Structure 1
Amino acid sequence: MSISFDKALGIHEQALGFRAQRAEVLANNIANADTPNYKARDLDFSAVLAAQQDKTKNGTFALNMTNSRHIEAQGLGNGDDTLMYRTPMQPSIDQNTVDAQLEQSAYAENSVNFQASFTLLNSKFKGLMSALRGE
């Protein structure tokens, strides 16, 4: 009997990848808080995960190949299509839309969710290891 990691781990593996991608976007916003004309961006985690679930067929992801010489791959699609510009709460003189407090709170929330996803994924791996050992 073979073990399907996709079925055993569920969507948690992909969720962890998207949380890491969102952390990069939020960190980029924080780093550019003083850059004139910089537009804050954010990844709509729910939309990305829902879109990825729609693309999922039989435990694999349907990825688009842009060139016939590309190697077929399985894994995470990127969430660039759901990477959107944030609407500023208060306009600034230099046209920068980054609200440092909002970005830091979003980053902290994303970090907590990342840790929760990681802990859940870790417990699933421990369960698989116990099953393989026959415990």
Structure 2
Amino acid sequence: MIDKLNNALQFQQQALALRAQRHEVLSGNIANADTPNYKARDFNFAAELKRATASQSGGGLQLATTSHGHLTSNGANGVAPQMQYRAPSQSRMDGNTVEMDIERTHFLDNSLRYQADIQFFDDRITGMRKAMQSER
């Protein structure tokens, strides 16, 4: 029963974990806006979510294990996103590629989507809880 509940909530868990990772990356970009030669990084959320859900269904990468006692990894926490450097639209003399307007926009967008994902997750749990309750 528990594994069925876990499977039903796996997609939302992975989406939230990836959103949190992206939030950390964007925060790092903003924090290093004045660091010389810092290169802004990000990852393609849709591609990484697709890769994480593919690994969930067994179609993605599997960890090599040398013993039957090793734990298996599933979920977005076990999959590191493929980081990419962002190409600046305007170069700076110090070599830094962080553009604050773009970073703030991505940060705000990711924050709103994170909140929406939490709401979807909460609605899903509420619906499952109602389905499991007996009628009175």
Fold agreement, TM-score > 0.5: yes
Q: Which residue of 1 aligns with 2:103?
A: 103
Q: Which residue of 2 aligns with 1:47?
A: 47
| Counterpart selection for 1:68 from 61, 66, 88 | 66
Aligned residue pairs: how many?
131
Moved over 6 A (4+): none
Task: Give the 3-state SS of the residue equivalent to 1:96 in structure 2.
Answer: coil
1:22-41 mapped onto 2 (5 Å cutoff): 22-41=22-41
Task: Give the 3-state SS of the residue equivalent to 1:93 in structure 2.
Answer: coil
Q: CA deviation at 1:6?
A: 4.0
Question: What is the TM-score with the length of structure 2 in the denominator?
Answer: 0.84
Q: Which of the pair is proportionally richer in strand?
A: 1
Task: Give the 3-state SS of the residue equivalent to 1:108 in structure 2.
Answer: helix
Structure 2 stretches of 5 or more lacking a match? none
Asked whether the equivalents of residues 34 and 96 of structure 2 are also in contact (C-alpha less than 8 Å), the reply is yes
Question: RMSD between aligned alpha carbons?
Answer: 2.3
Residue identity (%): 37
Task: Give CA-to-partner distance per residue, 1:40-84, whole Å, 9 cap, x none.
Answer: 0002101101111222226x985414x63683133323333x211
Asked whether the equivalents of residues 33 and 100 of structure 1 are also in contact (C-alpha less than 8 Å), the reply is yes
Distance in 1 separating the partners of 2:71 and 2:32: 36
Distance in 2 separating the partners of 1:78 and 1:87: 24
Task: Give the 3-state SS of the residue equivalent to 2:42 in structure 1.
Answer: strand
Task: Give CA-to-partner distance per residue, 1:75-97, whole Å, 9 cap, x none.
Answer: 323333x2111001100000000
Question: What is the TM-score with the length of structure 1 in the denominator?
Answer: 0.85
Q: Which residue of 2 aligns with 1:78?
A: 79
Asked whether the equivalents of residues 16 and 118 of structure 1 are also in contact (C-alpha less than 8 Å), the reply is yes
Letter in 1 for 2:15: A
Task: Give the 3-state SS of the residue equivalent to 1:113 in structure 2.
Answer: helix
